[in-house]
Amino acid sequence: MLKKELTLLNVYAIATGTTLSAGFFLLPGIAFNEAGPAVVLSYLIAAIPLIPAMFSMAELATAMPRAGGAYYFLDRSMGPFIGTIGGMGTWLALVLKTAFALIGMGAYLRIFWPNVPVVTLAVILAVFFGIVNLFGARKTGALQVFMVFALLLILFIFIGEGLPQINSQNFDGFFEKGGVSIIS
C-alpha cells in the first residue's frame, strides 16, 4: 500500500497542472492555424468523447480505489495480459505527454535565453524535475502547488487582458479554412 503523503491541495495541483500545462499554452495556436476561428468548435467536438471516459474513470476509481489506474482496472476486469497492455499504453502516453510538455516549457524559456536550443532547455528541465522527484511526494506536491498557482495567475491575467479584446469580427470567416479543418 502506498503511503498517503499528498494533501487534497497537492492532488488538485497535480491534476490541474497536468490538464493545463504546456498543452494549454501550445496547442491552441497550432489548432487555430489549422481551423481558424472555428477552433472553438473544434475544442467542443473534441470534448464530447471525453465525457463518457471521465465518467467511466470516476466510476472505476470509486469502485476500486487502489493505485494503478488503467492497469489495475483492466487487470481486474480482463486479466493480466490486457492489464499490461493498458498499463504500457498509459505509460507511453505519459512519456509522450511529458516530452511534449518539456519541449513546450523549453520553448517558453527561450524568451529568457534565446541562444539556448529548446531541446537543451527541455533536458535541463527534465533533470531538474527528476531531481525534485527524488525528494519525495510531499516536496514534489509542494512544488506543484507553487507552479500551478503561478500558472493560474498567468492564466487569469491573460483572461483579464483578453476579455476586453473579444470582438465579433474575430469570428468573421468562421469556416475560412474549410469545414473539415475543425476535425484535423
Which amino acid makes up residue 94? Answer: L
Confidence at residue 1, expressed as pLDDT on a 0 to 100 scale: 54
Helix axes 80-109, 118-134, angle to 10 degrees: 120
pTM of the model: 0.71
Domain ranges (residues) in the chain = 8-163
Q: Which DSSP state fits 113?
A: -
Q: Could you give the CA distance from residue 22 to residue 26 in angstroms, rounded to a whole number? A: 6
Cβ(34)–Cβ(184) under 8 Å?
yes
Return the amino acid letter for 38: A
Count, in order, helices (H) and strands (E) of the chain. Answer: 7, 0
| pLDDT score at 2 | 57
- Ordered per-residue pLDDT tens for the chain, 184 residues: 556 778 888 888 888 887 777 667 777 878 888 888 888 888 888 889 989 988 888 888 888 787 777 788 888 888 889 889 988 998 998 899 889 888 888 988 999 999 999 999 999 999 999 999 899 888 888 998 998 999 889 889 989 998 998 888 877 777 777 777 777 6
The CA distances from residue 29 to 8, 130, 156, in Å, are 32, 29, 18
